Every structure is written in C-alpha cells, then in structure tokens.
Structure 1
Amino acid sequence: MIVLLVGGYGKALLPTATEILWDTYGVPHVFARDARDAFQAFGWAQMQSHGDLLLRLYGQARGRAAEYWGEDYLDSDRWVLTMGVPDRARRWYQLQSPAFQSYLEAFAAGINAYAQEHPDLIDDDVEVVLPVKPEDVLAHLQRVLYFTFVVNPARVRGVEKHASGSNAWAIAPSRSANGHAMLLANPHLLWSEQFLWYEAQIQAPEVDIYGATLVGFPGLAIAFNNHLGWTYTVNTHDGWDAYELQLQDGGYLFDGKVQAFETENLTLRVKQPDGSARSQPLVVRRSIHGPVISQQDNKALALRVVGLDQPGVLEQWWDMARAKNLAQFETALQRLQLPMFTVMYADRAGHIMHLFNGQVPIRRAGDYKYWSGVIPGDTSKTLWTKYHPYHDLPRVIDPASGWLQNANDPPWTTTFPQALDPANFPAYMAPQFMHFRAQRSARMLEEDPQISFEEMVQYKHSTRMELGDRLVADVIAAARQYGNELARQAADVLEAWDRQTEADSRGAVLFAAWTQEVKFPEVFATPWQADSPLTTPHGLVNPQSAVKALETAAGKVRQAYGALNVRWGDVFRLEYGKQKLPGNGGFDDLGVFRTVWFAPQKDGTFTSIGGDSYVAAIEFSNPIRAMTLNSYGNSTQPNSRHNGDQLSLFAQKQLRPVWRSRQEIQAHLEERKVFTAGVRTQR
C-alpha cells in the first residue's frame, strides 16, 4: 500500500514508514527506515523528476536504443555493444555484495513501482524500456563513467570539446574567516542527457547525506554529511589507450606470433518509420588489448580501458557517504573503484585533501604525451595489466597554504607553495600545465588570507577573464601603435572594459572575437613555464599580427551587432526550456572561473549549452552551513514546475539555502510521499 499525502500527515503514516519530502525547489528528501528502503525511495524520486530521461538513458545503456527509437541511435548502440557494456553489467551484478545486490534491486523496484502507479506521467515512447532491472543500472553506470568520461568516440577521434570540466576548492580553518573548513563543489557538464545532475538528501539509520548525482545513478556522487564532504573534478587522468595492431593471416601480430581475435556476431535491430524493424549485423572483434574499434588496410585499432574488472564504485560511494572522519573516508577511497576524477575533501575536524584519484596503469616507460598517442600493439612491452596502488597517487593533505584548488589542471598546481613535485612521480602520471581558469582559481585563493563563506560564494561567481588581464594591455598598446582607425576605436573599447563577462560588460564580446582570430598558444611571446605557473604565458610574440587580428575581429563584431561595445548579455544568452535571459560567465579557455559554454545560433547570438551545473558551497560549522544551485532545475519532466525553475537564480549569480532538517523542509514543503511498511517489491 502506498499513500500520497500533500501538505500534511495522515492516519496511514506509521512511525517506521519511509517517506519523501519534496521541497519547493523539487529536491527530494528521503527519510527511510533502512538502507534498502532508501534506495527504493530514491528510485521512485528519480522517476518522478526525470522518468522519461532515465528510461531513455537506460535503453541506450542496453544497446537497444535503435530498436526502441530508430536510426538516430545506431551509432550509440554500436559503441555500447562493441564495448561489451550489457554483458559486463550482468557480470558486475553477480559480483556485488549480497547487501548491495539488494540495494540495486530496491532502486530498480522503486523505478518500476512509480511507472506502474503513474503510467500517464511517462512518455509512451519510453515505456518500452520497462521493467528496469538492476543490470540496467550498472550498464548505465558503465556507459557514463567508463565510456563517456574515461573515453568516448569523440575523444578517440580527438574532436571532443566542452564535454566536462569542473572547479573545486577546499579551504582549511587557518584560511577561513570563521575558523571552519569549507568546500566548494562546482562541476561543469553539458545541460542535457546523461550529464544532468540530480540534487537530493538521503537519510537512513546509517547515513544522512546531501548532494547530487547524475540522473540514473542510485547513490549521491558529490555530497556532504554532518562530518565531511567531497566533490570531483575531471582530472588529467589517462585511463585508456589506443593500440595499433598489425594484421596477418586473419589475426594480429603479438610478440612475433599471430594471435587470433575473439569474435562475437551480434544483430542490431533498427526501428523503421513505419514501426517495423530491420536487422543489421555487428561483428565485434577483441584482441588481448580490448575491442577493435576501427580497421584500415592491414592495421586495426584496439581500445584498452581501465577499471572494467572493478565493479564496486557504487558501494564505495555508499561507504564514503557513511564515513565520519578522514581515516574512514580514505579507507573507502583506497579501494580505487572509481576509475578517474580528482577528489577534493574537507571536514569538520578541519582537514582538507586533494587526491589525484584514478586507476592509473603501471607502464614500463614513456611520458604522458607518448601514452596520449597511438601505442604499438605488437609487443607485450606496451601492454599494461596492473594499476598503481593508492599510496602511489598524487595526494595533498592539510597544506601549509591552507587551501587547495583544482580546475581540471594537473595535481602539481593544487596549491602554492607547491606541495607536489612531478619528479617524484612517473612521467606518465599527469602532464604539466596550468591553464587560465586554473590560474584565476588559484589567484583568488592566494590573494585573500581570510576567506568568509560569503566571499567564497562571491568568488565562485567571478566572471573576470584571466586571459584578458594577461593580454589586453598589450593588445591596446599595439593597436594604438600599429592599427588603423578601426583598431584604435577597438582599443578604446577594450580600455574601458571591466575585464569581466557580466551581462552588462562592454568589450568582452570584442576581446573574445579577437581570440578567435589568433592562434593559441603561438600568440604568446613567453610560453607557459612550470617555474612561473601563475604569470605565464604572457606578451605578444608579433604585435602587428595581433593588431591585424583585432581589425578583423572588430569588423566582424560591428557588422554582426552594430557596435564594438555591444553588451555581453545581448550576444551570449542563458536558455533552458522556454526561458531566455541575458548571459554572464564565459568559456574555459578565456580563463573565466564562472564557466558557461555557449553554442552559436543562426542570428549571430550564442546560447548556453553547458558549464556551471550543480554548485554547492559548504562550511563545516555546527550546524553545517550550505548553499546550492542546480542551474537548470531538478526535473526534466515536461509538466514539472522544476524544469528550468532555477535558471533565473543562475542568471542573478545566486545560490539557494540547503534545507536538511525536518523543520526546515516542512517550512518549505511542496509534497509528501509516504511508503507504508508493505511497499517493497521483489524482483
């Protein structure tokens, strides 16, 4: 029996019941009588908020999306099946602990129960995926973590751009104005599909955790409890390699001998416009390195990916959520079930930590650049089979500086003075560079000796352009010396510019247009240098060429927008669903900490497609102070009021308070869902 009550308790509620309290921003607060009920209620909650999207993602993870929805999904199915995702998901399910098997069953049961009770709220087009099984959850996990983040077809082809990023800060009590450790979580992802964040609270006898996860995941990935919190950034982790195979006699050469491929013959079914289905063969060949992803003449390319024998990331997340101190948290981390991501951590005891987390292959030789290319696959000397243990990974705990940052830069620049020496690690562990967003990140922390919670939030919203600070004076001087009248007018606009990408900033559009007319990093007179990481690169290598680029950019801006000093927010727009607002923030490569990715439109404007997504600012005081924002809202269901309802706050650079106690939640209660004692559904 399930009872739905809105706005108050009823007679059917039992003291031991599991319930979901929905607040006025559509955040579900799960209060469960035990862990299994918590997972089931969380499955229900995700269906209420993202049911259509969740089922579509699970259908893709099965490798049957073209069968369900047609030709557009054929490439996705080929990738998923070539990578062996569905079969591996079934094996992974059998390898879960009995307790976690039951949690996955409960999560799937919650999804199915919602769909059974509310078929009218689920798009008819995606109902074909039902019922969901625990293996679907693991297949989705693999497709997203391993075959989107670690590697994906665009990354193999070298054409991926703006798929993922992030900012993360951890501030120690010595650097905090209030004497408490603080954490800033700020992932950057696309605002669509498998990249969407879902905010929630889960409370059961053994856990009380608040945070966010990617839609379809059964546990919170970025989170905090009463004792500690953590977040992630995409790190410079190399978790895959493309091996070139020399084909011979129907097989491939390996250590001087011909090895046979393991071959699997599959059939893809593709839904046709008239509702019928056609069949298409898919032959998957696997070498000792991994599956073959392409072939030309007498050569083939095989893909090797880390972590496919490590099925425990979900249980590791659960144990991280239950940790009460740094030692317990590290005990969970040391399993290294999560294939990649920098981990940034802070706790109430005042500890902060940066971990370059990942399953890093132990390689015999070669540096990061070498392993980023195509690797010879004809010798066992290049074939890795083991990973570095936890104690080998770059890690910093409680640095003297009192702060840690990561903005997708390598671990060596996490704090200053630098706490890690790259010479103490294998050359393939991580590259050496520090891009402009990371420099902006470190600069804000380094320049403020006592950071308050309010200042941390303010810094998080900084739209200042580090690249502009580095070059604009040189561009102005060169334009006045070498430029024509248009270049000198452009110089006047740049001189008046506030160096930011606020909606009202005038000059940012012009400078951004100039960056498209020059070549980076060749434009710099002094390249980036490891011994001057925060002040290089700098200077113009060819001022006259830079001025010619400014003249070209100025001509294009004037023609497109009618003026050189057009407002940033008139050209760059925030859009989600039916909402359209003036934009602020900017691209990573401009060195803007408040990252927003914009896509060009036919009318010459640009529309937001990703960047700042879920944001959490946490102070480990007593009680904990926290504010968050989910840029696009906490639901994608078509008729939900929470589909895009937070975009206006995003445009205003505001966060919302976190409500964690029953008293706070009930003061902002939108809906209550109560599960009575007999609700559990067996698989």
Structure 2
Amino acid sequence: MSVQSRSDRGTFRPVAGQQKTEILWDTYGVPHIYGKDVQSLFHAFGWAQMHSHGNVILRLYGQARGRAAEYWGEKYVESDQWVRTMGVPVRAQQWYDAQNPTFRNYIDAFAAGINAYTQNHAELIDDEVKGVLPVTGVDVLAHLHRVLNFTFIVNPQTVASLREEWENTQDTSTEFNQQNITPQKPLGSNGWAIAPSRSASGNAMLLANPHNPWSNLFLWYEAQLNAPGIDTYGATLVGIPVLTIGFNDNLGWTHTVNKYNGRDVYELTLADGGYRFDGKIRAFETETQTLNVRQPDGTLEEKPLTVQRSIHGPVIAQKDGKALALRVVGLDQPGALEQWWTMGLAKNLTEFEAAIKPLQIPMFTVIYADREGHIMHLFNGQVPVRSQGDYAYWSGIIPGDTSTTLSTQFHPYADLPRVLDPQSGWLQNANDPPWTTTFPAPLKPDDYPAYMVPRGPMEFRAQHSAKMLKSDERISFEKMVEYKHSTHVELAERLLDDLITAARQHGGEVGKNAADVLETWDRKTESDSRGAVLFAFWNEEVDFSNLFAVPWNEQEPLTTPNGLADPVSAVTALEAAAQRVIATYGTLDVPWGEVFRLRSGNLDLPANGGEVDIFRNLWFSPLEDGRFEAIGGESYVAAIEFSNPVRAMALVSYGNATQPNSPHVGDQLELFAKKQLRPIWRSRQEIEVHLATREVFTDVE
C-alpha cells in the first residue's frame, strides 16, 4: 500500500467519482475519511484510529483475547481470568463466522488498516504493545463483545463485589437479594431530541452527551465516514469500527445508558459433583485452560484456570454447598456492528426503525431526531422474557434449581417502551427510566412487565434536564448549547433553604458561618462559585438514606424529593464539612475551580460542573494536595440542528488522540473549561479550509 501524507491548505477541488481513498485530518485531529468504496473506508478508519489511539487499541485487543498477562505480566491476570471465564475469545470467533459475508469483509478491512498503519509507522507504536500484532477481525469482535456484554451489561468489579458479599453473608438462601448487593457508580449520559414545534428555527434538534471515564475502553473517537452514497459523522468508542453515535444529512441518534438489567445471577444447590435442576442432578461443563503470565525476566509462567459452566452460564462463586452462576443476554446476537452501520445509512424514520428492530445492540436508550421533524425515544435492549417478579427481584439472586426462572427469549421491538413525536415536542433521557422522558408522560409503567424497567425515582440530573426543556417554548440552537453546559445543582433547590435555616437555629459558630456562605452561593458549580465546595463536602457527610422529609413521588416527579427530614443531623454534617473545608483550604468560601481541576499535560485549569447529579457532569479523583482532578463524566458532546445544511458543533473533552506526542492530546480541554463547543466541519470545502494533513491511499484493496 502506498500512502502520501502532506500538509495542504489548497483550494477546494470537487472530486468527480471518488477514485482514491483519503483521510483529511482537520486542525482538531478529526479524520474525515473519503473511501473509494466501503471496504476502503473501513480500512482507512482502522488506520486513522491507530494514528490517534494505537497504543490503547492494541492493549485493549490484547485484553479481549484473554492474553494480556502473557503480553504484560501479572497485573493482567484477573482481566484474563474474567475474559476467559466469560468465554469472550471463543465466542468472538463464533460471532465472526456468523457475520454477513460482506460486512465481515468490512471488519477484516478495519483490522487490515490497523496492521497497515503499524507496518508503515512502527516507530510511533510502543514496543510493548507490538506483540499483539497482527490483529484480525476476530479481535475486533472480541473487543466489542468485552465492551458491550462484559463491561456495560455486567463488569468484573460488580461481580467481584457481589461475590464477596455473598461469600461473607451468613444467609446462603435466595433471600439474599438486591439490597445486599453493593451498587456500582453507573455510567451516565444525557440525550435530548427537540421537535420543530419547540425549536426556534422550526428544525428538529438533537443533543448527544455520553459521560464516561476519560481512559481505557471508554474513550470516544470522533470521525466522519464518507464513501459513495455514504456520509455519516459522529463518534465511537476506540477500537470499534463503526460510529455508535452519529448523524447524516437526514437524521441522527444518540445513546444513553438505560435502567436495564441484562444479567441474571442464579444460586445453585450443589449435589454429587453437579447441581440440582428440575428435580435432577445436572453435571457442570468443566474446562481447564492455561494462562501464560509474563515474568519480569521475560519468561512465561503457566497458571491453570478452571472454568465451570451450568445451563445458566459460568460459575462465579462457591461456598457451603452452593454456587453462583452468571447469565448475560446477547451472547448469541452477533450483529451489533452491522446494526450501527445500517443506522448511519438510514435516510428517514422508516429506514432507521428497520435498522434497529433486530435489537442486536443489547442495551442503551436510543434518542432520535430527523429532518422531517420526527423525534423518538426507544428503551432499547435485549430484555429477557421473565416468568415472574419485578425489576428488583431480577436484580438480586435468583433460584437456579428450576427452569421456570431460566430466561431463553427476549422481548421483540414492539414490546419495548417507545415514544414517537410526543405532544410536548421534546424528549430527554439522563439515565432515568423511560416513564419520565417527557411531560405530560405518554408511557404508563403499568402497561409493561414489572421486570422490564424500574418505576423510579427520577434523579436530580434528569429532573433538571426535563425542567430546562419544559420551561422553554422556543429553544434556539444557541440556547440548547447553553443549557447543555448547565452547572445548576438541583439538589440545592430542594434542601438549601431548610439547611440554612436549620444551621442558624441549631448550629454553633461554624454552622452559622457555613449558613452565611451557602446563602450567597449561586447554587451552581461554576469555576468561581463560592459555597459549592462546602455543599459538595456536606453531601459526603450527610446520611442520604434518611435525608428528605418528602420522598420522591411519581405523581410529582419534578418537585420531589424535598425538605430535610432531620435538620439537626443535617447541621451536624454541615459543621463537619465546614471544618474539613477550612482545614484543607483555609476558607469556607473557596471557589469551586480552585479545588476541582482539569488537567492534561502542562494544562491545569479550573473546572466547572460536578458529580452532585449535575447536568454538566464530571467525576473527580483526589490529589495529594487536597484538590481533585477530573477523570470522567462529560466525554463527547454533539449538538445538531437538522437545517439545510445541517448545523452542528461538538467537543471531545480530552482531545481526539492519546498517542504520545500527538498535538491533539488535551487540545480541546481549554474549550471545555470555557464551556465552548467547536464547529463540526462536514463539507469538503470547509474541511479543506481547516486542513492540517492529507493522507492519500493509492492502492488500498
């Protein structure tokens, strides 16, 4: 393959029938790929992802193979054990064999692009990850499988927590339920669709805003994919060969992590070397595998791994004559990549729904808008058909001795909660159940199985999301972007007045001083907000299990919960928080941005936004100096108006690359700190104006 690379800001030249494949890299490191055909497009997309994230991708593919410890040592043993126990490498081959032959060629082309990049630019890839090469289409699917089924639907941290609590409890019966399981901080996201009736311009609009960790397999990658008849723009998680959030001239979609349970944990009763099932003894399938673990001297040490599987799935724990087995949906549904690809090719609602009806994507809400003015919210997922019980029951530990609890089918598209073109003219999801996607609420929980989706509550981020949309009769594109950056603390609206009154009534000098600071606080987490740090620390001190005088009520979803149930204990927590703030920062009214920071390379910027159920969501990790560094949350933002031409702006908070010495590592962080988006360049003419580098592929097969 021959690749010509050069800087070029030349005059726009229309291409009459794309006869070559090109990557036009813009000044923010976004690849605009023009493929002479679809296979060449996928090849170039693999090349582009390696250019931007090569080291990360090879490490992720090594982990998806279940061979990371062989490549990089002992610290990856648990990762390999998880991937192998869940059957990812073997099933990835099965998925590969089951692909539509044409689409399988596209996956192979993506893998070939990865390999071609490393052959041409070996010096830009770290030596320690080159052992993974060459990669194959099976590796691509193994990575996808690990991300979807064994990170988003269920992950090793959640399973380890469940296993530890189950092993340590005295109760080995199935009465051990969801209340015994330590919840994990959920991955978050915001999504909006606004109909022409609520848009200032009369055009439908879409807001995409996933919240993920800023590292590893959660990194977003922005790109434009062009081939004859194809022009889709959007983003995907690194290593995935199609856009998973995207838009074209006619329509667009985003995803949010939905309140969805696609995993069942079964308690088995052991007997005679097997387990009881429907009144009989059933044998486990047992397999012994070998993990090769690289030692510091470069030698490999063999470590055995024994995997037991019941009819439910792999065994994840055993004690006292009992065992736990894990069942995960979607293991026989290999078509997620082709479904996302087809979604990006759709030209109208009918074609888009035809693309998503097979339900190959195992979870995620779909928020949709199009040029014709349609908007849609779909509670998407492979929801198992259950025999009994509600959502809470199936989130716990289920009796595994009977086939009546073993789900073997999932609900078809027609069964799922779906809202199309609501009377309100707007839809939102901020990881809340679909019942609160808009108001007046068109969906009724009683019309759906109790196990499909929980009934509530509506968290504060979702409430603020809905209130912003509900309060504005004509939303402009600029206003939508402004709302997107809201740092308003909805929780403060429900508690702050009561807390200030209680502090002045029950508090000592520290409590009264804290009340004074909170009274002048703007109830936001702007970088210069004074009082936000104190309120955040109070959130850590106070007992949320008995905080509100009025609990959440689904009849009043946007005004409850409300009020302090125990003002005295709330003041005690406030005084403890105030003492921490003074001891650490020397003043109660330290600005938010002095404590919470955005860091990348030499950049160290004041943050705005935060974790307290704020629409502009950021997650922080403590630093040694008492400050906190953003490590997740706001990841990718795209604001789209289906005008003619489409108007769109975007941001990848941490930049569109992670490769060492790339100028695009962190190059969008200053825009993020200023609450700004950058324009999306889609036409070839405007891309040429903002061109940094052009790569031309002259002989891609």
1:522 equivalenced with 2:546 (yes/no):
yes
Deviations 1:89-119 (A, max 9, x none): 0011110011011101100110000001111
SS in 2 for 1:499: coil
Quote how far apart the aligned CAs of 1:556 are. 1.1
Given residue 39 of structure 2, which amino acid in structure 1 is its aligned partner? R
Which of 443, 462, 465 aligns to 2:467? It is: 443
The aligned runs of 1:247-646 (5 Å cut-off) are 247-432=270-455, 433-587=457-611, 590-646=612-668
Amino acid paired to 2:481: V
| 8 A Cα contact 2:25 2:693, kept in partner | yes
8 Å CA contact 1:517–1:550 kept in 2: the answer is: yes
Query: Which of 66, 70, 73 is the matching residue for 2:69?
Result: 66
Q: Match for 1:117 among 117, 120, 125?
A: 120
Gaps of 5+ in 2: 162-180
Q: How many angstroms does 1:159 deviate by?
A: 4.8
Q: Which residue of 2 aligns with 1:31?
A: 34
Aligned counterparts of 1:381 and 1:185: Cα–Cα separation in 2: 40
Give runs of aligned pairs for residues 72-111 of structure 1, distance below 5 A. Answer: 72-111=75-114
- In the alignment, which residue of structure 2 is the partner of 1:185? 208
SS in 2 for 1:385: coil
Q: Which residue of 2 aligns with 1:167?
A: 190
TM-superposed deviation, 1:577: 3.6
For residue 15 of structure 1, report the CA deviation from its aligned partner.
5.4
Equivalent position SS for 1:545:
helix
Per-residue Cα deviation, 1:18-53 (whole angstroms, up to 9, x for no partner): 100000000000001111011000000001001100
- 2 CA distance for matches of 1:255 and 1:561? 63
Letter matched to residue 68 of structure 2: A
SS in 1 for 2:305: strand
SS at structure 2 position matched to 1:516: helix
Task: Encode CA deviations 1:424-449: one digit per residue, 9 max, x unaligned.
Answer: 00001111210000001001001111
CA-to-partner distance for each residue in 1:601-628, whole Å, 9 max, x for gaps?
A: 2221111110000000000000000000
Deviation at 1:162, TM superposition (A): 3.8
- Offset of 1:163 from its aligned partner? 5.3
How far off is 1:453 after superposition? 0.2
Q: Does 1:239 align with 2:242?
A: no
Moved more, 512-521 or 314-323: 512-521
Maintained 8 Å contact 2:276/2:401: yes
- Where 1:265 maps in the other structure, the secondary structure is strand
The aligned amino acid for 1:236 is K
Q: Equivalents in 2 of 1:417, 1:32: separation in Å?
A: 46
Q: Residues 189 and 610 of structure 1 are in contact (CA less than 8 Å); yes or no, is this contact kept in structure 2?
A: yes
Q: Is the 8 A contact 1:294 1:301 kept in 2?
A: yes
Distance in structure 1 (CA, Å) of the matches to 2:323 and 2:363:
27
Partner letter of residue 258 of structure 2? N
CA distance in structure 2 between the aligned counterparts of 1:364 and 1:388, rounded to whole angstroms: 12
Moved more, 457-466 or 536-545: 536-545
Q: Whole-Å Cα distance in 1 between the matches of residues 649 and 143 of structure 2?
A: 29
| Corresponding letter in the other structure for 2:476 | S
> Which segment is superposed worse, 474-483 or 160-169?
160-169
Q: In the TM superposition, what whole-angstrom CA distance separates every residue of 1:371-413 from its partner, at most 9, and x where no partner exists?
A: 1101110111110000000000000000000000000000000
Query: Alignment partner of 2:546: what SS?
Result: coil
Matches within 5 A, 1:39-58: 39-58=42-61
- Rounded to whole Å, the distance in 2 between the matches of 1:564 and 1:212 is 41
Distance of 2:186 and 2:624 partners within structure 1: 22
Q: Distance in 2 between matches of 1:679 and 1:623?
A: 32
Asked if 2 retains the 8 angstrom alpha-carbon contact of 1:267 and 1:282, the reply is yes
Distance 2:386 2:444 in 1: 20
2:104 aligned partner, one-letter code: Q
2:23 & 2:348 partners in 1: Cα distance? 28
Matched residues in 2 for 1:575 and 1:471: separation? 32
**Alpha-carbon distance, 1:314 to partner:** 0.5
Structure 2 partner of 1:2 = 2
Cα distance in structure 2, aligned partners of 1:380 and 1:239: 18
Contact 1:354–1:414 (8 Å) recurs in 2: yes
Contact 1:348 1:621 in 2 (8 A): yes
Partners of 1:555 and 1:97 in 2: CA distance = 63
**Is the contact made by 2:427 and 2:437 (CA closer than 8 Å) also made in structure 1?**
yes
Asked whether the equivalents of residues 213 and 220 of structure 1 are also in contact (C-alpha less than 8 Å), the reply is yes
CA distance in 2, matches of 1:448, 1:64: 53
Contact 1:163/1:190 (<8 A) preserved: no
Deviation per CA, 1:549-604: give whole Å up to 9, x if none. 111111111111101101101111112344211111000xx231000001112221
Question: Which amino acid in 1 is paired with 2:381?
Answer: G
Task: Provide the rounded CA distance (Å) in 2 between the counterparts of 1:363 and 1:15.
Answer: 51
Looking at structure 1, the residues matched to 545 and 246 of structure 2 have their Cα atoms a distance apart, in angstroms, of 37
Structure 1: runs of 5+ lacking an equivalent: none
Check conservation: 1:163, 1:189, Cα contact below 8 A.
Answer: no
Supply the distance in 1 between the matched residues of 2:653 and 2:182 (Cα, whole angstroms): 26
- Identity among equivalent pairs (%): 66
Distance 1:467 1:496 in 2: 16
Q: Which letter maps to 1:517? A: E
Aligned equivalents of 2:182, 2:293: Cα separation in 1 = 27
Instruction: Tell me the secondary structure at the aligned position of residue 541 of structure 2.
Output: coil
Deviation at 1:297, TM superposition (A): 2.5
CA distance in structure 2 between the partners assigned to 1:572 and 1:644 by the alignment: 17
Question: Is the aligned partner of 1:652 residue 2:655?
Answer: no
Alignment partners' CA distance in 2, 1:666 and 1:631:
24
SS of equivalent residue, structure 1 residue 343:
strand
Contact 1:196 1:214 in 2 (8 A): yes
| C-alpha deviation, 1:542, in angstroms | 1.0
C-alpha deviation, 1:5, in angstroms = 3.0
Separation in structure 2 between the aligned mates of residue 254 and residue 577 of structure 1, nearest angstrom: 57
Conservation of the 8 A alpha-carbon contact between 1:180 and 1:621 = yes
Is 2:40–2:700's contact at 8 Å kept on the other side of the alignment?
no
Q: CA RMSD in A?
A: 1.3
Structure-1-length-normalised TM-score = 0.98
**Alignment pair present for 1:195 and 2:198:** no
Per the TM alignment, residue 521 of structure 1 is displaced from its structure 2 partner at its CA by: 3.8
* Contact 1:521–1:527 under 8 Å retained in 2: no
Could you tell me which amino acid in structure 2 is paired with residue 7 of structure 1?
Answer: S
Q: Supply the distance in 2 between the matched residues of 1:319 and 1:649 (Cα, whole angstroms).
A: 33
* Greater alpha carbon shift after TM alignment, 610-619 vs 536-545: 536-545
Question: Does the CA contact (< 8 Å) of 1:401 and 1:416 recur in 2?
Answer: yes
Conserved in 1, the CA contact under 8 Å of 2:18 and 2:228?
Answer: no
Are the equivalent residues in 2 in contact too, given 1:71–1:271 (CA < 8 A)? yes
